[in-house]
């Protein structure tokens, strides 16, 4: 028998996300027999995507790009947890331990950017899961996607909690020469206890801020999002002030914030987490989160407090997420607010 490879060997079949959902529905995640278990104990399933850019409405950007689905950072408040149910997986452990990898995303993106109809609208990278979670060190799909966006002179904003982004400072600078480019480092709090409890798989907040410093010094347009501020964990005046000061000390060009919201699978997961680890706090969360968001007044007070601190520490370059909702007087009143929650 010849040992030459077949001329038309197309390589291993990588299922689409639809096929993944069907497989999991029939046999659970155990049926993903080709998912590779790596040293971090998560399983990685390569999938074939049909589109790289997803159109969105009503956001400050028009398109999103996410090379991975699921996130080993495993933040308990993560709004993307609820998206994992699209693949018939749960928003608890499976969100953080079964990661889908869009192995062909760069080729698909290239085709989409080359279409004559492409208008070079704003693309947000990392809206569903972190584009610099650890597996990016292996696949480099985010890096190659950024190269493609630069080549296509397409404006982009990227959000991450991954200090690995400094690896790609050359690509970020190349992108900034080609189109508008912003990096949003997510640092909800520098409080050690809140970080340890809420974001178990992420780099230490100060490590993220050191990445901000490196990017800033290299010339990247980088700011920080305190997103989300979690009532009772990171919302006290002292914690917010320490965080804003640390952000300013590390050269961020702006800071934004929002207060946690809870929806669908994320709500279920978060309340279970609180019930298990902080049972005394549960009734307060149930009162505060009767709806998806806490009451408007509460959110306004938190955002106003951040705004005051922004001004105090010279971080007034950008607006908070819900800035338009906020009358001016609220920021002054917020000076007086002492948050227990
Ligand atoms: S890093 Fe971002 S995407 Fe990943 S779990 Fe945390 S909040 Fe979710």
Write the residue with the smallest CA distance to atom 8 of ligand 1. Answer: 78
Confidence at residue 100, expressed as pLDDT on a 0 to 100 scale:
96
CA distance 330 to 304: 6
Strands 98-102 and 68-69: antiparallel
Q: Listing from the earlier edge strand, what are the strands of the sheet with 98-102?
A: 36-37, 43-47, 98-102, 68-69
Confidence at residue 9, expressed as pLDDT on a 0 to 100 scale:
57
Q: Quick one: which of 228, 253, 238, 255 has its CA closest to 320?
A: 255
CA distance 234 to 238: 9
CA distance 230 to 259: 6
Torsion angles phi and psi, residue 262, rounded to 5:
-130, 125
Residue whose CB lies within 8 A of the most ligand 1 atoms, among 70, 130, 197, for a mutation test? 130
Cα of 150 vs centre of ligand 1, distance in Å, is 25
Residue whose CB lies within 8 A of the most ligand 1 atoms, among 70, 72, 74, for a mutation test? 74
Strands 43-47 and 36-37: antiparallel
154-190: string of b/e by CB count within 10 Å (b at 16+)? bbbbbbbbbbbbbbbbebbbbbbebbebbbbbbbbbb
Global pTM reads 0.89
29, 59 contact by CB (below 8 A)? no
User: Per-residue DSSP letters for 313-324?
Assistant: TT--SS--TTGG
- Residue 136 in 3-state DSSP? helix
Q: Quick one: which of 283, 298, 278, 208 has its CA closest to 250?
A: 208
For residue 247, the cross-strand partners are none
- Which residue reads 């190269």 in tokens? 147
Cα of 96 vs centre of ligand 1, distance in Å, is 9
DSSP state of 16: B
C-beta of 84 in contact with ligand 1 (< 6 A): no
Q: Which are the contacts of 340, defined by CB distance < 8 A and separation ≥ 6?
A: 236
| C-alpha dihedral (244, 246, 252, 255), degrees to nearest 10 | -20
Cα of 7 vs centre of ligand 1, distance in Å, is 42
Question: Which ligand 1 atom sits nearest the alpha carbon of residue 95?
Answer: 5
Cα of 340 vs centre of ligand 1, distance in Å, is 25
Q: Quick one: which of 92, 112, 106 has its CA closest to 136?
A: 106
pLDDT average per 10 residues of sequence, the chain (341 residues) = 50 87 92 90 96 93 96 96 91 94 98 97 95 98 98 97 98 98 97 97 98 98 95 96 97 93 94 97 96 94 92 72 33 31 41
CA distance 275 to 48: 38
Tokens of 183: 């990096």
My answer on whether omega of the bond before 49 falls inside 30° of 0, hence cis, is no
Q: Listing from the earlier edge strand, what are the strands of the sheet with 181-186?
A: 53-55, 63-65, 123-125, 156-160, 181-186, 222-229, 255-259
C-alpha angle 166/135/191, rounded to 5°?
A: 60
Q: Quick one: which of 178, 308, 298, 177 has its CA closest to 241?
A: 308
CA distance 192 to 246: 13
Tokens of 76: 């308990």
C-beta of 227 in contact with ligand 1 (< 6 A): no
212, 175 contact by CB (below 8 A)? no
């Amino acid at each position: 028998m010849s040992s030459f490879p077949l001329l038309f060997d197309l390589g291993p079949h990588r299922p689409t996300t639809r096929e993944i959902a069907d497989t999991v529905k029939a046999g659970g995640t155990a049926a993903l027999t080709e998912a590779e278990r790596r040293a971090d104990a998560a399983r990685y399933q390569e999938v074939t995507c049909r589109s790289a850019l997803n159109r969105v409405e009503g956001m400050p950007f028009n398109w999103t790009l996410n090379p991975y689905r699921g996130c080993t950072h495993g933040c308990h408040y993560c709004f993307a947890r609820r998206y994992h149910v699209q693949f018939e997986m749960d928003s608890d452990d499976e969100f953080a331990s079964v990661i889908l990898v869009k192995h062909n995303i760069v080729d698909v993106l290239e085709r989409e950017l080359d279409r004559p109809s492409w208008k070079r609208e704003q693309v947000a990278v990392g809206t569903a899961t972190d584009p610099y979670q650890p597996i990016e060190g292996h696949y480099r799909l985010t890096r190659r996607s950024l190269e493609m966006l630069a080549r296509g002179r397409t404006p982009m904003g990227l959000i991450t909690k991954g200090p690995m982004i400094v690896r790609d400072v050359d690509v970020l600078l190349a992108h900034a020469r080609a189109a508008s480019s912003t990096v949003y480092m997510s640092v909800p709090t520098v409080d050690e206890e809140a970080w340890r409890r809420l974001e178990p798989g992420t780099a230490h907040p100060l490590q993220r801020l050191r990445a901000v410093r490196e990017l800033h010094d290299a010339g990247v347009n980088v700011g920080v999002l305190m997103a989300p501020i979690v009532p009772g964990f990171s919302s006290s005046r002292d914690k917010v002030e320490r965080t804003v000061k640390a952000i300013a000390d590390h050269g961020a060009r702006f800071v934004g914030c929002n207060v946690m919201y809870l929806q669908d699978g994320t709500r279920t997961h978060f309340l279970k987490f609180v019930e298990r680890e902080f049972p005394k706090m549960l009734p307060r969360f149930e009162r505060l989160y009767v709806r998806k968001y806490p009451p408007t007044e509460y959110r306004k007070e938190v955002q106003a407090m951040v705004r005051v601190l922004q001004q105090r520490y010279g971080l007034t370059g950008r607006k908070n997420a819900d800035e338009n909702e906020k009358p001016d007087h609220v920021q002054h009143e917020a000076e007086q607010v002492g948050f227990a929650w």
